Amino acid sequence: MKPGYHVTEVKAGQFRALDCGANPEAWSEIFIQLWDIEEDDRTHMSSGKFHAIIRKVTEHVKLDDTAKLTFEVSDGARPMQLYCAAMPVLRAGAVHVELSPRAASCKPRDRWLAEQAQAAACCGPATSARCCG
């Protein structure tokens, strides 16, 4: 993010959908919209200012503690892009949050892959005597 970025909007929503396998889906999501610009001699936003913005939002909008967090980012010229946030990290006295592009996914395939990974971790050759029944 450029040092002059602004939090331009925070919104929360409840979503209901049908995935490509005809499975019903439901989730909560919080979107934090960022305007990624350079402005004068501004530095990156302090964690205190960011916290104050979120606190103000919570006075008017109910935020679900378990909601998926998504950042919407644009410089005002390019289309908005969606990003997932990693856990905040304190480094050199500043809070850093790594954003990674949010890709489209197939939820039935994602569930199947997770099941396969869990089965491989549990039932692989080295552990088959302990946890596979």
Render pLDDT for 45-71 as a digit per residue (tens, 0 to 9).
788 888 899 999 999 999 999 999 999
What tens digit of pLDDT does each residue of 108-126 get? 999 999 999 888 887 766 5
Q: Which domain holds residue 127?
A: 105-133
Examine the domain organization and report whether 62 and 117 are in the same domain: no
Q: Is residue 88 part of a domain?
A: yes
Whether the pLDDT of residue 24 is over 90: the answer is yes
Q: Are residues 88 and 42 in the same domain?
A: yes
Q: Above 70 in pLDDT, residue 95?
A: yes
Domain check: are 52 and 67 in the same one? yes
What confidence tier does 93 reach under pLDDT thresholds 50, 70, 90?
Answer: confident
- Indicate whether 130 pLDDT > 60: no
Residues 41 and 68 in one domain: yes
pLDDT of residue 36: 83
Note whether residue 1 is domain-resident.
no
Q: State percent of the chain over pLDDT 90.
A: 50
Structural domain total, the chain: 2
Are 78 and 94 found together in one domain? yes
Task: Rank 3-7, 34-38, 66-70 by mean pLDDT and report only the highest.
Answer: 66-70
Instruction: Report the C-alpha gap between 4 and 41 in whole angstroms.
Output: 8
